[in-house]
């Protein structure tokens, strides 16, 4: 039986140099929670094995009741990545950049959400890799364009969904499996497809 690292008030971890806060949480020994000069705030959460929580120069907040299943990665950038209360992240989920997820959300396995993309028009004529190398000659990773992703409360995102930069999903949205969400949708809608479109309203009068 795997023994989790159970962090209580008596064993509260706070290092003012790396700014890591873990309180009343169960962190699997094979999980990786890092902080590079910024804060990772983790309170009353469960993080399973092979999960990576890496804030880069930003802030990652995991609110009470969050569960992150194995092989998932949360990689912050320059601003904030936040998971609301009682939100569940299933296996193999990747979240990159500036992302806010509301309370009581369900994110199924192998979902990909990012507020950033590759540079494809920075220096026409160069490959994507060369364009990004050229950009970094006078900029840092924090300077890459980022369009925040906002996900409301009680949102269910099905397996294999991709959510692109700038998307806003209202409260109560359901996204069907394997959809690609390229635009924003209001509350209480069931959406799906490539690109995702409205299937019907979740609330039937």
What pLDDT score does 28 carry? 78
Cα–Cα distance list, 148 to 79, 112, 184 (Å) = 9, 14, 12
Task: Quick: pLDDT tens for 19-74.
Answer: 445 556 788 777 877 754 446 777 788 888 889 888 877 888 899 999 999 999 99
Contact 143, 122 (CB under 8 A): no
What pLDDT score does 134 carry? 85
Q: Please, what is the Cα angle at 92 between 84 and 53, to 5 degrees?
A: 55
- Tokens 């209360």 locate to 85
So where are the chain's domains?
Answer: 28-37+45-201
- Tokens 């309370």 locate to 103
Q: Is 197 helix (H, G, I), strand (E, B) or coil?
A: strand
Domain 28-37+45-201: CATH superfamily is: Hexapeptide repeat proteins (2.160.10.10)
Instruction: Kindly name the residue from 37, 118, 143, 184 that is annotated as catalytic.
Output: 118
The list of the chain residues with pLDDT below 50 reads 1-20, 36-38
What pLDDT score does 144 carry? 79
For this structure, is 118 an active site residue?
yes
What pLDDT score does 23 carry? 58
Distance CA 169, CA 150 (A): 6
């Amino acid at each position: 039986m795997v023994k989790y690292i159970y962090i209580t008030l008596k064993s509260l971890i706070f290092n003012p140099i790396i700014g890591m806060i873990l309180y009343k949480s169960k962190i699997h020994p094979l999980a990786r929670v890092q902080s590079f000069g910024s804060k990772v705030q983790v309170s009353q959460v469960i993080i399973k094995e092979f999960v990576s929580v890496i804030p880069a120069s930003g802030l990652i907040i995991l609110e009470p009741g969050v569960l992150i299943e194995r092989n998932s990665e949360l990689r912050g950038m320059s601003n904030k990545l936040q998971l609301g209360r009682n939100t569940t992240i299933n296996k193999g989920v990747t979240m990159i950049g500036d992302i806010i997820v509301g309370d009581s959300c369900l994110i199924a396995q192998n979902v990909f959400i990012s507020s950033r993309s590759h540079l494809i028009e920075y220096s026409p004529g160069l490959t994507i890799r060369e364009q990004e190398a050229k950009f970094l000659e006078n900029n840092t990773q924090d300077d890459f364009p980022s369009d925040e992703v906002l996900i409301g409360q009680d949102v269910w995102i099905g397996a294999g969904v991709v959510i692109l930069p700038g998307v806003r999903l209202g409260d109560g949205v359901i996204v069907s499996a394997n959809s690609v969400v390229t635009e924003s949708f209001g509350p209480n809608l069931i959406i799906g497809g490539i690109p995702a479109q409205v299937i019907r309203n979740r609330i039937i009068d």
